[in-house]
Amino acid sequence: MARIKLVSPEAATGKVKEIFDEIERTRGKGRVSNLFRAYANHLSSLELNWERTKRVMKSGLLPPKLKEAIGLTMAAVHQCHY
């Protein structure tokens, strides 16, 4: 049972909807992760973490696809079922 309410993209309004729309434009339709859906309960957390994610993915020498692959690999290594 979930302890934190996840805000669905369909139910989002205002600034949360704007950020969810940007996430979907960036990552693809239907790709708002549960982590961002949980952050949506506290707008400043959602805003700050989305900005951080964009900066991490756009900066540095590694291409974004490789950064995503590293994230997936780490999730597998740590047996994250998310």
Instruction: Give the chain's domain count.
Output: 1
Per residue in 8-50, pLDDT tens?
Answer: 999 999 999 999 999 999 989 999 999 999 999 999 999 999 9
Residue 82 in any domain: the answer is no
pLDDT band, very low/low/confident/very high, at 2 (cuts 50, 70, 90): low
Residue 81: predicted pLDDT: 72
Question: Quick check: 1 pLDDT over 60?
Answer: no
Per residue in 47-61, pLDDT tens?
Answer: 999 999 999 999 999
Give, as one character, the DSSP assignment of residue 81. -
Which of these, 62, 6, 43, 51, lies nearest to 26 by C-alpha position? 51
**pTM for the whole thing?**
0.84
39 is in which domain, residue-wise?
Answer: 14-77
Burial (CB count <10 Å: 0-12, 13-18, 19+), residue 74: exposed
Residue 36 in any domain: the answer is yes
Residue 3 in any domain: the answer is no
